């Protein structure tokens, strides 16, 4: 890691806890000495690393050894033949972060890196502004690392995501407002407490964790880049970093012929980034979220502008789905691939379906859908779409009658 650099004016900083440029207020991001990295980093070296995202430590923003979140990442890339058959895609894969360790979402990636870096920077208290999954992951990792912890969430989150904080005993602060209110409050608190807010004052380090999804997809495709990748968007950070990660692999010669199109998916009820794309704007207008995809409900997305830019550079598109289509996407994925994803997964599958139908993604394209969270955390979303069990008395005759079966042979 070389240090931080302003994404707007290019001013460079050392790798401290700073997230906005002192000159132009642009956001900062981590910079690396790619020449030095290229001299020593090979596919073989990566392949001999741990079966976690830390196999890519040379491209991650820490200085010492990984210390927190040692098992995150390296989740399965599932060949989704059945879902592909449904959507008319011959080579579809699902990157399954519903089984990430330890809190079953993609956020275990960013938090492993953020907390390892926070400890390096001398912080004892960690915090975050969250739409749900981030808080779960920060709370779990802080418990295991014996760090003080405050998580801030909107007041209307899914029950499983609230419980998924409380069980680790952090300070859970439920704010009477939406995520954007939570985030504003956290920025104010970050200004007066010496706490590591993973997605505020140490955001440059946190965000780098998202790149590992791109690295893993490429490695799991035997060091080739897919033709198409569909990414759910909240703040837009994940999409931006998928693009950065793919370009780094190309720059380092770890993949050749990278021509991936990166597509963004949002819920119609909170689609400031996708709406800007559809209307041909390069800036977004903040919205008041109203969607069942609460993990993606950010009305004023910090990386919206950069996500628009990344998708455009890659030749990717953006689209949205209704709440109904989200539920359809969740049940379709479950019933074709046996993967129970949360609402954000329904958004990704729903948008993938639209892009395939419109011919933006073609039958022969190697396509990857990023499935980023687990359905057990958002059960209310599908409760009315999955039917009920068939109830019978404990009687063989009743069973045969109910299912219209006759004894075999």
Ligand X SMILES: *Cc1c(COP(=O)(O)O)cnc(C)c1O
List the one residue from 32, 93, 106, 277 that touches ligand X (CB under 6 A): 106
What's the angle, vertex CA 283, arms to CA 280 and CA 286, rounded to 5?
115
Q: Distance between CA atoms of 353 and 361, rounded to whole angstroms?
A: 9
Nearer to ligand X, 91 or 228 (CB): 228
Tell how strand 125-129 and strand 196-197 pair up. Answer: parallel
Binding of residue 314 to ligand X (CB under 6 A): no
Region 342-371 residues binding ligand X, contact defined as CB under 6 A? 342, 344
Give the range of 30-38, 102-110, 277-285, 360-368 binding ligand X by CB under 6 A.
102-110
Binding flag, residue 234, ligand X (CB under 6 A): yes
Among 17, 103, 105, 212, binds ligand X (CB under 6 A): 105
Does residue 320 belong to the site contacting ligand X (CB under 6 A)?
Answer: no
> How many CA atoms does the CB half-sphere of 173 hold within 13 Å?
18
Specify the pairing of strand 261-267 against strand 171-175.
unpaired
Cβ 83 to ligand X, closest distance in Å? Answer: 18
- Taking the complex as a whole, the smallest distance from the CB of residue 388 to ligand X amounts, in Å, to 28
Residue 405: how many CB atoms within 10 A of its CB?
9
- The verdict on 373 binding ligand X (CB under 6 A) reads yes
**Angstrom distance (rounded) from CA 318 to CA 128:** 28
> Is 91 or 300 the residue whose CB approaches ligand X more closely?
300
Q: How many angstroms separate the CA atoms of 122 and 224, rounded?
A: 39
The single residue among 238, 258, 317, 352 that binds ligand X, judged by CB under 6 A, is 238
216 membership: H or E segment, kind and range: helix 211-220
Residue number, 254 or 293, with CB nearest to ligand X: 293
Query: Would you tell me the crossing angle of helices 133-145 and 107-120 to the nearest 10 degrees?
Result: 40
Of residues 130-189, which lie at the interface with ligand X (CB under 6 A)? 133
Tell me which DSSP letter residue 49 carries.
Answer: S
Q: Binding residues for ligand X, how many (CB under 6 A)?
A: 16
Binding residues for ligand X (CB under 6 A): 105-107, 133, 232-238, 295, 342, 344, 372-373
């Amino acid at each position: 890691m070389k240090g931080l650099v302003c994404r707007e004016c290019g001013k460079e900083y050392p790798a401290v806890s700073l997230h906005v440029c002192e000159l132009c207020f642009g956001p900062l991001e981590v910079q690396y000495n790619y020449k030095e990295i290229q001299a020593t980093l090979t596919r073989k070296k990566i392949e001999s690393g741990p079966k976690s995202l830390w196999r890519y430590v040379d491209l991650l923003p820490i200085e010492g050894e990984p210390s927190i979140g040692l098992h995150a990442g390296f989740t399965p890339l599932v060949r989704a033949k059945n879902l592909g058959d449904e959507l008319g895609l011959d080579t579809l894969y699902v990157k399954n972060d519903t089984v990430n360790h330890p809190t079953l979402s993609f956020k275990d990636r960013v938090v492993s890196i953020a907390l390892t870096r926070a400890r390096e920077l001398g912080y004892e208290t960690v915090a975050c502004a969250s739409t749900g999954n981030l808080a779960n992951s920060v709370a779990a990792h802080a418990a295991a690392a014996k760090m003080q912890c405050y998580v801030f969430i909107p007041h209307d989150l899914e029950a499983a995501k609230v419980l998924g904080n409380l069980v680790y005993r952090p300070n859970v602060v439920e704010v009477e407002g939406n995520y954007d209110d939570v985030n504003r409050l956290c920025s104010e608190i970050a200004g007066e407490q010496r706490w590591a807010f993973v997605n505020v004052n140490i955001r440059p380090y946190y965000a780098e964790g998202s790149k590992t999804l791109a690295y893993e997809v490429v490695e799991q495709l035997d060091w080739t880049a897919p033709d198409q990748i569909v990414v759910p968007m909240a703040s837009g950070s994940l999409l931006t970093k998928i693009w950065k990660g793919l370009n780094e692999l190309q720059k380092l010669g770890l993949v050749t012929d990278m021509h991936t199109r990166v597509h963004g998916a949002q819920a119609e009820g909170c689609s400031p980034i996708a709406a800007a794309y559809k209307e041909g704007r390069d800036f977004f207008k903040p919205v008041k979220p109203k969607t069942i995809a609460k993990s993606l409900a950010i009305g004023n997305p910090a990386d919206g502008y950069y996500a628009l830019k990344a998708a455009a550079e890659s030749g990717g598109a953006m689209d949205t789905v209704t709440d109904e289509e989200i539920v359809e996407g969740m049940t379709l994925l479950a019933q074709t691939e046996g993967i129970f994803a949360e609402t954000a997964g329904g958004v990704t599958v729903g948008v993938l379906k639209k892009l395939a139908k419109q011919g933006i993604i073609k039958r022969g394209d190697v396509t990857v859908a990023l499935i980023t969270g687990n359905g057990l955390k958002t059960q209310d979303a599908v409760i009315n779409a999955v039917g009920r069990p068939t109830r019978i008395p404990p009687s063989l005759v009743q069973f045969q009658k109910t299912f219209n079966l006759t004894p075999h042979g």
